[in-house]
Chains A and B, each alone.
Chain A
Amino acid sequence: MDLLSSLSLGFSVALDPSNILYCFLGVLLGTLVGVLPGIGPTATIAMLLPITFSLNAETALIMLAGIYYGAQYGGSTTAILINLPGESSAAVTAIDGYQMARKGRAGPALAAAALGSFFAGTVATFLLAAFAPPLARAALNFGAPEYFSLIVLGLLVSIALAHGSILKALAMIVLGLLLGMVGQDIYTGTPRFTFGLRELFGGLNFVAVAVGIFGIAEILRNLENEREREVGVKEVKNLWLTREDFRRIIAPVLRGTGIGSILGVLPGGGHILSSFASYSAEKRLSKHPEEFGKGAIEGVAGPESANNAAAQTSFIPLMTLGIPAHPVMALMIGAFILQGITPGPNVINEQPALFWGIIASMWIGNLLLVILNLPLVGLWVKMLSIPYRMLFPAIVLFACIGTFSINQNIYDIYAIAFFGIMGYLLIRFGCEPAPLLLGFVLGPLLEEHLRRAMIISRGDPMIFIERPISATLLALALAAVILAVLPSIRKKRDEVFVEED
């Protein structure tokens, strides 16, 4: 079947009125849970699974997929408005998005995020339709050594995430790596940093750490001075993008879409890297890197596009190979199975209406999201005018409920409290939380792939150089380091890492 007839089959399924309705319900619900801090798509899809029993397979999966990418949209809203990222990708958006909101530019930040996401979603959906099977095959060439090298490259390049002291940024990455070590070592089962608490055997919950270190810390900082607190942004300049804004976001959106589309296909954690990678790329390429971390619109548009593109392309390994790229995708596999379909290489041939219907519905869903979200920008921004004494207990409450709902583990709530205080102290010491979160997310992956590669090679480190993809990635990483230390470009580097004060 050629692409056109496949797509027309897909659209005939997706444009069925009840499917449009459920697609809309999905993205609406997704936007809402994305906006509520902590309650992520994982918990929502898990709760809704039983309801989907009564729907037919296409409708059920179209709705669940809608929740997932809808939440990617919604998640950026709270990250921008109140510095409360619900997942790793939104953490990057929070860096510059929140600074924009503090300057009264919450509207443009939200609009840039929505437009970038729409563009990225459209392109990625097309990629998914055109190249899903070969892309998934190519991704399988990524084994442990390749992932290790990719993450090394990611970590080295992402030092640009910091806009303060480079030494502090490095310290934060290392601290993040250490926090990522908490829990049971998967290779030997040895508990590390668990203090005998079995609740910590599974490691620290990402959402709890992110909510604490970004959101709660920010609230504490706001509360320390009754008069200067600022979450209730007083002045909102404009809701829409200026011509200048448009000019500035075009290239970042294009690059973000490219980066996200490629990384999203990798099932071993590529989507996690996408927004970090896009942010680093934008900061490197920007003519005014000093603005990053202080409200650069490129720092919102790029990562948001990358994140949304990756969200779409991460369906590629799921739908063509039956392998989940992350927990939400694992849940989608459960949804497929509950519908009596085992996701795998056969789905595309045996269930063409389902496969193409879901793909077509993603495009429709993205359109619905833009229609839904752009008018809401004004409403969200208004939310900031809620008196802070009412807003902050609500934020804390929702964040705790949402986090608890993931695992029903009370230690996740303790973790929010602990990391809230720690995040506050870090702000006071002038350390930034973003590199810490990067280390926390990538550290465990780095270790896992390093050790697995070494086990497979039976202890021979040459495996990283003998395999061409891995060798290329490591060479790029080396080049990045050399560029950073070469004296002739020292001046440029200094511009990138402007020392504070």
Chain B
Amino acid sequence: MKTVFRTLALGLAASTVLGTAVMAQEYPTQPVTIVVPFAAGGPTDTVTRLVAAAMSEDLGQQVVVQNVGGAGGTLGAGQVAAAPNDGYTLLLHHIGMSTAPSLYASLPFDPLTDFATIGLVTEVPMTVVARKDFEPATLEDLVAYIKENGENITYANAGIGAASQLCGLLIMDALETKMTEVPYQGTGPAMTDLLGGQIDMMCDQTTNTTNQIQAGEIKAYAVTTPERIAVLPDLPTLSEGGLENFNLAIWHGLYAPAGTDPAIIERLTASLQKALADENVGNSFAELGTYPVAADQATPTALTEKLEGQIALWSEVIAAAGVAAQ
């Protein structure tokens, strides 16, 4: 009897000591939730669902996507920041993570200290597009046309802090010319008006524009990345058009709440890398006009670096554009 008790006691003690380590090793023992801070059906949601399906195969547990939209993605991010750091609640957010501190006066979380980074997921290029019958024929013409006509040009965006607005800010900044910004509730309705010729220009992710460009429904002038992209190889980069060092892509990253066990983060990073290497994911991303990042980018270090650099960049651009924090 005595031995039995001793064994039991030892076992209990051991299990408490080893508790966390064992937990990390067995992780995950229940479904993992990835919060998307935007509505279902949008580009970020689609990217997340593709990654979640592949990660779920690797982790041997269901990876559930939960949409917590609102307030430019800050509601969903805030919810994950406050969630238990047990590795079962994650966040997949895009470039908005780095602009939020400049756009919202009272943010309930700090992107740098309240999250543990897991890795970059994808960098979606953007395209500068215009209505079918817009005058300029080439990127060169467009630059000259913008400089000449300035505020007579209507530029559609998806509202304050949206990627489409940031792109416009950078272009206007580079050309030192203001255009008339016309905000919409998302780039979907903006695209409708562009197709109908109600507005002149827009800048949006390839996920939304590639199909319309290929069908000849809208005119495309340039991509915003430093290199040309595979789906639209004829499209020059903005740098080629004289907007030097222009580099804008809608980068997406995967985060966990701060203080998550490093072993769990490691497991998730490995799983993310595996998901991104999956052929199916790669093909689906290509359909969207984007590509998974290389394995060395799908790491905590790479994402942290990206986040820090981008927060610094956007605080300058947004302040220079005179957009007040709310």
Contacts and interface: CB of A to CB of B under 8 A. Distances in A.
Residue in B41, B193, B212, B324 whose Cβ sees the most chain A Cβ within 10 Å: B41
Interface string A124-160: 0000000000000000111110000000000000000
Contacts of A277: none
Given A53-B53, A186-B184, A333-B41, A346 B196 contact: no
B196 A448 contact: no
Contacts of A335: 41
A382 interface: no
B12 to A, nearest CB: 38
Nearest to B188: A324
Interface in B73-115: 74-75, 78-79, 103-104, 106, 108
Interface in B297-321: none
A323 B193 CA distance: 10
Contact of B211 (A42, A202, A342, A409): A342
Nearest to A136: B195
B291 to A, nearest CB: 15
B91 to A, nearest CB: 13
B188 A334 contact: no
Interface in A166-222: 184, 186-191, 196, 198-199, 201-202
B17 interface: no
B53 A50 contact: yes
Interface size class of B (residues with CB under 8 A): 35 or more
B40 A334 contact: yes
A211 B53 CA distance: 34
Interface string B60-76: 00000111111110110
A378 interface: no
A321 B195 contact: yes
Contact of A267 (B45, B52, B79, B192): B192
Contacts of B46: 334, 337-338
A487 interface: no
A186 B183 contact: yes
Contacts of A343: 211
Contacts of B184: 186, 452
Nearest to A190: B326
Interface string A317-333: 10001111001001111
Given A330-B188, A346-B211, A140 B326 contact: no
A189 B103 contact: yes
Contacts of B159: 186-187, 189
Contact of A346 (B39, B68, B214): B214
Contacts of B183: 186-187, 452
Contact of A338 (B50, B103, B189): B50
A344 B212 contact: yes
B154 A456 contact: yes
B20 interface: no
Contacts of B104: 198
A343 B52 CA distance: 22
Interface string B271-293: 00000000000011001100000
Given A323-B188, A338-B284, A144 B69 contact: no
Contacts of B248: none
B58 to A, nearest CB: 15
Nearest to B191: A323
B326 A321 contact: no
A37 to B, nearest CB: 20
Interface centre among B40, B71, B160 (most CB of A within 10 A): B40
Contact of B71 (A198, A323, A344): A198
A202 B192 contact: no
B30 interface: no
A42 B189 CA distance: 18
Interface in A328-371: 330-335, 337-338, 340-346
A380 B4 CA distance: 62
Nearest to B324: A189
A372 interface: no
Q: Name the 5 nearest CB pairs between A and B, nearest first.
A: A140-B196, A334-B41, A189-B160, A143-B198, A344-B211
9 contacts: A188-B160, A198-B74, A198-B106, A323-B189, A323-B192, A344-B217, A345-B212, A346-B211, A407-B70
Interface of B: 39-42, 45-46, 49-50, 52-53, 65-72, 74-75, 78-79, 103-104, 106, 108, 151, 154, 159-161, 180-185, 188-189, 191-193, 195-199, 207, 210-212, 214-215, 217, 283-284, 287-288, 323-324, 326
Given A142-B196, A338-B46, A455-B182, 4 more contacts: A186-B183, A323-B191, A331-B40, A333-B41
